[in-house]
């Protein structure tokens, strides 16, 4: 993207909290969802925008359901960085590993957030242990804990490149 603009795409398993993360970062964000048994699920994308220092950050949230691989491919075009949301109550699953492998192959700058840390069942330490060498920020998209700090830290690494 042009100078001063960053496209960051948010990936993660179904139900990890991608849409909630973008909502927490930008309360005016837009979400294209359908109703599933578990509640709303992303069927197209989330879109949020916020300023981080002198960078205009454009956030695109992907659908977590496996069948929407084609949507993830389209949203990935021209991304400057990727954030993978992991549900810290369920841990690093096969879908997370699949996404991680794809993004690593693309050599795109990457960070992880371990979400749902407000939940008593969350084990962010296990997420860190399962992703050796990677940056993992513990967050709660529900109450907003650490969401801005996590994004700010990631944007700083992108800006420094």
List interacting residues with Mg ion (CB under 5 A).
18-19, 42
Q: Which is nearer to ligand GTP, 17 or 55 (CB)?
A: 17
Assign 88 to helix, strand or coil: coil
47 near ligand GTP, judged by CB under 6 A:
no
Q: CB under 8 Å to 97, separation ≥6 — which residues? A: none
Residue 127 Cβ vs Mg ion, minimum distance, rounded to whole Å: 19
Residue 2 Cβ vs ligand GTP, minimum distance, rounded to whole Å: 28
- How far is residue 64's CA from residue 128's CA, in Å, rounded to a whole number? 21
Backbone φ, ψ for residue 70 (5° rounding): -65, -35
Residue 101 Cβ vs ligand GTP, minimum distance, rounded to whole Å: 18
Q: Which is nearer to ligand GTP, 96 or 140 (CB)?
A: 140
- How far is residue 131's CA from residue 41's CA, in Å, rounded to a whole number? 26
Assigned token pair, 64: 């977590």
Residues 16-35 that bind ligand GTP (CB under 6 A): 16-20
Residue 75 Cβ vs ligand GTP, minimum distance, rounded to whole Å: 12
Residues 119-158 that bind ligand GTP (CB under 6 A): 119, 140-142
Crossing angle (nearest 10°) for helices 147-159 and 18-25: 90
């Amino acid at each position: 993207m042009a100078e001063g603009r960053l496209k960051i795409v948010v990936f993660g398993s179904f139900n990890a909290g991608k849409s909630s993360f973008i909502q927490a970062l930008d309360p005016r964000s837009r979400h294209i969802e359908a109703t599933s048994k578990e509640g709303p699920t992303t069927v197209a994308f989330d879109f949020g925008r916020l300023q981080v220092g002198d960078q205009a950050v454009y956030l695109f949230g992907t659908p977590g359901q496996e069948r929407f691989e084609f949507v993830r491919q389209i949203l990935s075009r021209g991304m400057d960085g990727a954030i993978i949301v992991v549900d810290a109550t369920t841990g690093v699953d096969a879908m997370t590993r699949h996404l991680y492998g794809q993004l690593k192959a693309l050599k795109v700058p990457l960070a992880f957030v371990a979400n749902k840390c407000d939940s008593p069942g969350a084990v962010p330490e296990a997420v860190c242990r399962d992703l050796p060498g990677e940056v993992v920020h513990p967050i709660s998209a529900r109450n907003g804990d650490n969401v801005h700090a996590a994004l700010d830290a990631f944007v700083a690494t992108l800006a420094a490149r």
